Amino acid sequence: MADWTRHLAKFASRVDSRLDEQREKLGLGASRTVRIEAYRGFGRPDRLWVKGRVLRGLPLPPAREGDSLWLNLSASLQRFESDEVPGAQVRVRYPGGEQLLTADREGYVECWLDPRPPLSDGEPWRQVEMELVEPANPDGAYRTQARVLVPPATARFGVISDLDDTVVRTDVASRVRMMKHVFFGNAHTRMPFPGVAAFYRALERGSGPFAGNPFFYVSSSPWNRFDVLGEFLELQRIPAGPLLLRDWGVNSVDPGEGGHAGHKSRHIATILGLYPALPFILVGDSGQEDPEIYHRAVREHPERILAVYIRNVSRRPERVEAIRALAAEVEKAGSTLILADDTLAAARHAAEQGWIDPAALPEIGDVAHAEDQPRPDELKEENQAMSRGQET
């Protein structure tokens, strides 16, 4: 996890813990509506994973284009100030059975389900009902549907992708833009890297008839931003997939959890284990530990990783050399690591391997060129920086 993310996680954890203590002392929130925030699950016809969180208060409305900076900041603070309901009971109903779950200290519930009989092949997204049993709402039972991805039989490979600085611009090199994105932005203001949406759609389609290759997004972003990231993917027409995020609650920053690397490695192992016949492409960036994590995955899961694509966001020569050394190790292990300066370089390799249709390359290149033009806010900041430099 990047330093700024680690510090923010610890700060958010302390604030959230203090707020929870004060609510408990004052008895606040007891009369507020209790709801379940259902996250996107995944599975196969005979095995499904679902996760959700029990919270007090109504969900935030979707962001709108043109929302003010202060409205976005208010929404961000409300997300991190979530009022979870530890000990809540949730009943999960699925084909052939049901389970009663108890929320943990941070309000989370999750479980594996075994549909009986197994689900038939069909639409990739299925529905699992989650019902709040305790505490009960005064205005009636609360039920919601959790969406669960079951890859179709036509899928030829899966994609496991990072988000920050891989799909969405975080701009860690510019503290001003980074803080603006995280605290003052919304799903409409967050921008993908040039061409990444078109490339991911090409990977989902595959090289022939529509394959429906599944996507899994494994990130150290907090679950509190699940709605923002989901809206962002939808707005940018990036393939939907389960978002496997991290809990930034008081227990989640404990070093014993394994941090960023442990979080990603566990989820990668789970996904690969659930789909033993499906090879995978791993996509990340050079800013954190993705090359090292993916290198380990190649070693631990021989012949399962088709390729590793790493977006080069670090210009430090020693980092580039370290990743090139990892690329040589990945090749020895039977896979390929591509360190790419842009999306088109990775797309060309995928086309050469027959994983995407070469006819998609012009679209990816044209879109990447158009998206790569500096935005007005970037030009303004750069001009101001140049003016300050000249003054000094």
Distance from C-alpha of 97 to C-alpha of 196, rounded to nearest angstrom: 40
Q: Output the pLDDT for position 251.
A: 45
pLDDT score recorded for residue 372? 62
Q: Do 175 and 124 reside in the same domain of the chain?
A: no
Let me know if residue 119 belongs to a domain.
Answer: yes
Q: Into how many domains does the chain fold? A: 2
185-202: b (≥16 Cβ within 10 Å) or e: bbbbbbebbbbbbbbbbb
In this structure, what are the phi and psi dihedrals at residue 391, rounded to the nearest 5 degrees?
A: -65, -35
Residue labelled with tokens 């070093």: 255
pLDDT score recorded for residue 18: 54
Residue 71 has a CB neighbour count (10 Å cut-off) of 14
The CA distances from residue 175 to 105, 180, 229, 392, in Å, are: 33, 8, 21, 21
Confidence (pLDDT) at 138:
79
pLDDT tens across the length of the chain (392 residues):
444 445 555 555 555 555 455 445 444 444 478 999 999 999 999 999 999 999 998 887 787 887 777 777 777 777 777 789 999 999 999 999 999 999 999 999 999 999 999 999 889 999 999 999 999 887 788 999 999 999 999 999 999 999 988 998 876 556 666 667 767 777 777 778 899 999 999 999 999 999 999 999 999 888 988 988 999 999 999 999 999 998 865 444 433 355 778 999 999 999 999 999 999 999 999 988 999 999 999 999 999 999 999 999 887 899 999 999 999 999 999 999 999 999 999 999 999 999 999 999 998 987 766 656 555 454 444 444 434 444 44
Give the pLDDT score at 17.
55
- Select from 261, 266, 343 the least CA-distant residue to 309: 343
pTM: 0.84
CATH for 79: 2.60.40
Is the same domain home to 139 and 163? Answer: no
Helical residues (DSSP H) of the chain, grouped into ranges: 3-26, 69-80, 175-184, 196-205, 226-235, 259-274, 290-300, 317-332, 343-352, 361-371, 376-391
Write down the pLDDT at residue 136: 87
Whether 237 and 261 share a structural domain: yes
Query: Contact 89/101 with Cβ under 8 angstroms?
Result: yes
Can you give the pLDDT at residue 190? 78
**Residue 13 lies inside a defined structural domain of this protein:** no
Tokens coding 186: 């919304």
| Same domain for 90 and 46 | yes
Whether residue 101 sits in one domain with residue 170 = no
Query: Same structural domain for residues 228 and 333?
Result: yes
Q: How far apart are CA 9 and CA 251, in angstroms?
A: 11
| CATH code of the domain in which 173 resides | 3.40.50.1000
Q: Please check whether residue 79 lies inside any domain of the structure.
A: yes
Q: How many CB atoms lie within 10 A of CB 59?
A: 10
Phi then psi for residue 234, to 5 deg, are -65, -45
Interior/surface letters 111-142, b for 16+ CB within 10 angstroms, e for the rest: bebebeeebeeeebebebebbbeeeeeeeeeb
- One domain, residues 145 and 261: no
Going by the DSSP 8-state scheme, the letter that residue 116 receives in this structure is: S
In a shared domain, residues 360 and 212: yes
Q: Give the range of the structural domain holding residue 54, as residue numbers without chain letter.
A: 34-149
Which is nearest to 200 in space by CA: 229, 241, 150? 241
Final residue of a structural domain among 149, 182, 216: 149
- Which one, of 318, 266, 319, lies nearest residue 289 by Cα? 319
